[in-house]
Structure 1
Amino acid sequence: MSPTRFASQHKWIYICAIVLLVGFVVVGLIQYKAVRSTNQALDKANRLADEVAAAGYPRPDPSALARVLGEDGGIVCEDPASALKSALWKINMSNGATGPGQRPVIADRQAVQAEALVLKVYCPDTLHRIQSELEDLKTDQTVRR
């Protein structure tokens, strides 16, 4: 049997090997991008965890922060200075009642600073837009430590 006849009879083996090789390259590139993205998310989560610990809070789990906030801050960084986000944020700093019983309260200073830390790490370009609102809030030490 001649070598050219052998190669032509088993051409499908070469074709399958090439298709598999191309498939492995594509999967490898996709995995590389996912791992790089995960590493960036963990880096930012570690930075935030360090900032939170430096502010006096217990250090949160960086892997949980990375899952929630990702590498871009997720919904936290989607226009935090908008009127709707500002209103929702202020509602969360109320007495917890609903309807006519809901009242504003004096928020804890550290809780307000914690929100600013998230913005500082994940979207520092938007922090200055709500900094004035943060400074206008009446805060005090309202939580026992």
Structure 2
Amino acid sequence: MSPTRFASRHKWIYIGAIVLLVGFVVVGLIQYKAVRSTNQSLDKANQLADELAAAGFTRPDPATLARALGEDGGIVCEDPASALKSALWKINLSNGATGPGQRPVIADRRAVQAEALVLKVYCPDQLQRVQDEIDDLKTEQTVRRGNDG
């Protein structure tokens, strides 16, 4: 049997092997991108968890932060200084009532500080725009912690 005849009879084996090889390459590239993205998310999440712990907060689970904020901060970093986001942020700092019972309150300084740390880690270019609004807020220590009395 000549080599050309052998190759032509088993051409489907070569085609199948090439298709499998291309498929493995595609799957490998997709997996590599997903792992790289996960690693970047966890790096940012660990950085934020370290910042929060250094500021005196309980260290959150980095895996939870990575799922919530991803590698770029997600919705937190989508124009945080916009009028709508600023209004929603201030509503969240209210007394928690709805409708006519809703009132502004003096926010806890540490809660506002935690929000600034998220921006510092995930979108530092946006922090200065929001920092001006943070500085304008009236804040106090309104939540008792530990042995504060």
TM-score interval for Structure 1 and Structure 2 normalised by the shorter chain:
over 0.9
SS in 1 for 2:142: coil
Deviations along 1:86-133, one digit per CA (max 9) or x if unpaired, are 000000001111000000000000000000000000000000011111
Q: Match of 1:84?
A: 84
Instruction: Give aligned-pair identity as a percent.
Output: 87
Q: Match of 2:72?
A: 72
Q: Match of 1:117?
A: 117
Equivalent residue letter for 1:128: Q
| Whole-angstrom distance in 1 between the partners of 2:136 and 2:117 | 17
| Whole-angstrom distance in 1 between the partners of 2:130 and 2:42 | 26
Q: Is structure 2 residue 65 aligned with structure 1 residue 56?
A: no
| Whole-angstrom distance in 2 between the partners of 1:63 and 1:103 | 35
Structure 2: tracts of 5 or more residues without a match:
none
Pairwise CA distance, 1:68: 0.4
| Whole-angstrom distance in 1 between the partners of 2:8 and 2:98 | 78
- After TM superposition, the structure 1 = structure 2 runs for residues 1-145 of structure 1, keeping only pairs within 5 Å, are 1-145=1-145
Equivalent residue letter for 1:14: Y
SS in 2 for 1:51: helix
Pairwise CA distance, 1:3: 2.2
Stretches of 4+ moved more than 4 A in 1?
Answer: none
Deviations along 1:42-97, one digit per CA (max 9) or x if unpaired, are 00000000001111111000000000000000000000000000000000001111
Equivalent residue letter for 1:46: N
Equivalent residue letter for 2:107: A
Deviations along 1:10-43, one digit per CA (max 9) or x if unpaired, are 1000000001101101110111111101100000
Equivalent residue letter for 1:74: G
Relative to the length of structure 2, the TM-score reads 0.96
| Whole-angstrom distance in 1 between the partners of 2:54 and 2:142 | 19
Pairwise CA distance, 1:4: 1.8
Relative to the length of structure 1, the TM-score reads 0.98
| Whole-angstrom distance in 2 between the partners of 1:30 and 1:98 | 46
